[in-house]
Amino acid sequence: MMKKINVFKFLVIICCTTFLLNTAVAQRFNPFPKSVGTVVFESEEDPIVKKVASPSIVILENGDYLVSHDFDRGTSVHVSKDKGKTWSLLSRVAPLIWANIFEHKGNVYLMGTSKGWGNIIIYRSTNQGRTWSEPKDEDTGILAKGMFHTGPVPIVKHKGKIWRAYEEAFDAKDRRDFHALAICADEGADLLKASSWKRTNSIRFDEQWLNARRPNWLEGNLVVTREGKLVDFMRLETWIGRGVNYTIEGAAAGKPRDEIAAIIDVDDKNMQMVFKNEKRNFVHFPGAESKFTIRYDSISKQYWTITNKISSFRNTLGRTHDGNWHQRNVLVLMSSPDLTNWTIKKKILKWDEGAHLRTWDTFGFQYVDWVFDDNDIAFVSRTSWYGFRYHDANMVTFHRIADFRKSNTNIEPEDLKNYTKHPILVSIPQANLTKDRFRIGDFDIITRLGKGLVQNARGELKFATKDKPAKDEKQALKQERYFEIEIKNRKIKNFSVETLDYTPITNSKNLKLKWVYSKNGILFDPITRYLLNVENGVEDYKPEPTLYLQVYRPLNSIAAQEGIVLRCYVIGGSEEDVMLNFMDQIAIGGRAL
């Protein structure tokens, strides 16, 4: 009996230790709210390096839900046997990315590329996704060799054939010079054999067709029109460029920038892609700047999709860090009777709707794939919930739209920003940046101003020397144009640093900030890989959006007596008498642990 008890205790200790090891690096604060969806998978170990991408979903004939997604240079497949309430890892395949998952004649397939801009490949499972074939040659799944691009876009069955869209590139130095194409095979053919597949020609979007930084199409959806014709419905990038008129010109004139999709005609008889650059080839389509999935519902006789609705439009004059297309924080359900006239039926998810997000901002729901599930829509999202940035997601999440045909635009979803609030750890008065040592509650604060900066009586930071503007943090370090905030606490064991809130103001047109952190004051790690533009002028300013730091794992738990150093480099500033003001304080969010 004693031996059994000891063994039991040993197993409990092992299980608890394993649990702690597995959860120590997961979302520590403000986990994804269960009220709006289920986490299928989260990149826990190192989400800055190991990102999550390209989710796809299928409901099998046996009732299993399968979700696939890119992760760690391959594709993971997860299964749910309770309609999406819980998920478990089923299998992994590699090499494969950008794949969609689908069922055909009792088998399950994954179809994508061997790598970014790689070969077209396909995998087959004969046991509901538990094991998979291995593409070795043109008879076992390598369908075409070249530089191909895609996303988890749907297959479509048309006139006895199975179709899928791809893009290809021909210049390794210009891989985003996309040429759209389609491939097809007989429904009864062996889909693993390259000889079963035919392809169309490929066509690129001519820069002269539309005024933009580089108008481009990608991640097309093959769709059958109400007239029984096949089209490739394209995501279209219409980013504003420097010196480019913000108003759209050409055949798409009259449609709003960043909300235009393109429709390519597919001649399925002659295997030709045809684009005539006519008015009918361009569609007002909110969400056209990000990947989407379109499917036809025979009950409502409508085409349906879920897209990212931009909620803040600005003419950014060719700047890319704050382009409208960075807004992937609002998801909407749309429908159309004809692929031309689209109506927003319902908002599904939103985080801080109306905020003009930048490339380094943290939250996003994107690259949605979905399927009909009786009267519902089941969908998966590439979700950044405290990820490295909105684009570099750390999760795949599962969601359900109940009774989608009865969707009501008057019912607003809860703004998920309510779930991303953080307590203030300390607020550093701007005047104290040169105070050296002081206390805030039980926290010992040390501030240091580099010799390249001085602070005047109004608390404004100025350049101490006439050196040329620093181009990056290395030059700013050499010029000592930085300030530091060191935080310690002798009365607690650990604390976290979770957010940075401040309102920078400058009289310069090209001033930027770069935050870094260090646990020893010697080796520093970056906070984002971007230089943060200071865009507030002296007479026109508003609070800077919060910098969320949860993805930086060392900041989740800091040994309180050893502390943390936050350093901010001041970069750029080519004008005379450059001034930087932080509007009284820098608030650092976090908590005692």
Q: How many helices (H) and strands (E) does the chain have?
A: 2, 42
Q: Output the CA torsion sign for 111, 39, 417, 544.
A: negative
SS3 14: helix
Residue with tokens 């109400």: 226
492 pLDDT above the threshold of 70: yes
Q: Is residue 510 part of a domain?
A: yes
Task: Give mean pLDDT, residues 445-451.
Answer: 96
Which residue in 106, 156, 98, 158 sits closest to 122, CA to CA? 98
SS3 274: strand
Q: For residues 470 and 466, give the distance between their C-alpha atoms in angstroms, rounded to a whole number.
A: 11
Cβ atoms of residues 492 and 592 within 8 Å? yes
Residues 27-52 have pLDDT tens digits of 679 999 999 999 999 999 889 999 99
For the record, the structure tokens of 69 come out as 């997604």
Cβ atoms of residues 55 and 79 within 8 Å? no
Residues 450-464 have pLDDT tens digits of 999 999 988 999 999
132 pLDDT above the threshold of 50: yes
Q: For residues 570 and 531, give the distance between their C-alpha atoms in angstroms, rounded to a whole number.
A: 10
Q: Categorize the per-residue pLDDT at 540 as very low, low, confident or very high, splitting at 50, 70 and 90.
A: confident
Q: Which residues contact 504 (CB under 8 A, 6 or more apart)?
A: 513, 534, 536, 544, 580, 581, 582, 583
Task: Give mean pLDDT, residues 535-547.
Answer: 87
Q: Is residue 431 part of a domain?
A: yes
Q: For residues 440 and 55, give the distance between their C-alpha atoms in angstroms, rounded to a whole number.
A: 46
Q: For residues 330 and 416, give the distance between their C-alpha atoms in angstroms, rounded to a whole number.
A: 10
Q: State residue 538's pLDDT score.
A: 86
Q: What is the CA radius of gyration of the chain?
A: 26
Question: Cis omega (within 30 of 0) on the bond before 95?
Answer: yes
- Amino acid at site 310: I
Task: Give mean pLDDT, residues 82-88.
Answer: 98
14 pLDDT above the threshold of 90: no
For the record, the structure tokens of 412 come out as 């607003």
Q: For residues 302 and 304, give the distance between their C-alpha atoms in angstroms, rounded to a whole number.
A: 6
- What does the mean pLDDT of the chain come to? 94
Q: Is residue 128 part of a domain?
A: no
141 pLDDT above the threshold of 50: yes
Residues 306-342 have pLDDT tens digits of 999 999 999 999 999 999 999 999 999 999 999 999 9
Q: Is residue 251 part of a domain?
A: no
Which residue in 210, 201, 180 sits closest to 277, CA to CA? 210
Q: Is residue 570 part of a domain?
A: yes
Residues 243-292 have pLDDT tens digits of 999 999 999 999 999 999 999 999 999 999 999 999 999 999 999 999 99
Q: Which residues contact 54 (CB under 8 A, 6 or more apart)?
A: 68, 69, 70, 75, 97, 98, 99, 112, 151, 152, 367, 382
Q: Is residue 547 part of a domain?
A: yes
Bridge partners of 162, per DSSP, are 157, 185
Nearest-5° Cα angle at 322, 449 to 292: 140
Residues 570-581 have pLDDT tens digits of 999 988 899 999
For the record, the structure tokens of 463 come out as 């350049």
Which residue in 210, 214, 114, 203 sits closest to 165, CA to CA? 203
Task: Give mean pLDDT, residues 207-222.
Answer: 97
Q: State residue 439's pLDDT score.
A: 96
Q: State residue 27's pLDDT score.
A: 63
User: What spatial distance separates the first Cα and last Cα of the chain, rounded to whole Å?
Assistant: 40
Higher pLDDT: 434 or 202? It is 202
Q: State residue 26's pLDDT score.
A: 58
Q: For residues 309 and 291, give the distance between their C-alpha atoms in angstroms, rounded to a whole number.
A: 12
For the record, the structure tokens of 364 come out as 């996003």
For the record, the structure tokens of 148 come out as 């191909």
Cβ atoms of residues 505 and 544 within 8 Å? no
Q: State residue 25's pLDDT score.
A: 43
How many whole angstroms from its chain centre is CA 591?
A: 28
Q: For residues 56 and 154, give the distance between their C-alpha atoms in angstroms, rounded to a whole number.
A: 9
Task: Give mean pLDDT, residues 430-457.
Answer: 93
Residue 258 vs residues 36, 153, 305, 339: alpha-carbon distances, Å? 28, 20, 17, 18
Q: For the chain, what is the domain count?
A: 1
Q: Is residue 153 part of a domain?
A: no
Q: What is the DSSP string of 372-393?
A: EETTEEEEEEEEESS-SSSSS-
Q: Is residue 352 part of a domain?
A: no
Task: Give mean pLDDT, residues 200-205.
Answer: 98
Residue 383 vs residues 56, 358, 390, 393, 412: alpha-carbon distances, Å? 13, 16, 8, 5, 20
Is the pTM here over 0.85, yes or no? yes
Which alpha helices (H) appear in 90-184, and where do they start and end?
none
The enclosing domain of 484 has a CATH number of 2.60.120.260
- Amino acid at site 401: I
Residues 96-127 have pLDDT tens digits of 999 999 999 999 999 999 999 999 999 999 99
Residues 238-256 have pLDDT tens digits of 999 999 999 999 999 999 9
Q: Output the CA torsion sign for 324, 326, 329, 333.
A: positive
| Domain, as residue range, for 444 | 424-592
Which residue in 364, 253, 231, 366 sits closest to 303, CA to CA? 231
Q: Categorize the per-residue pLDDT at 7 as very low, low, confident or very high, splitting at 50, 70 and 90.
A: very low
* Percentage of the chain exceeding pLDDT 90: 89
Q: Which residues contact 80 (CB under 8 A, 6 or more apart)?
A: 40, 64, 65, 67, 86, 87, 88, 398
Q: Output the CA torsion sign for 448, 453, 454, 456.
A: negative
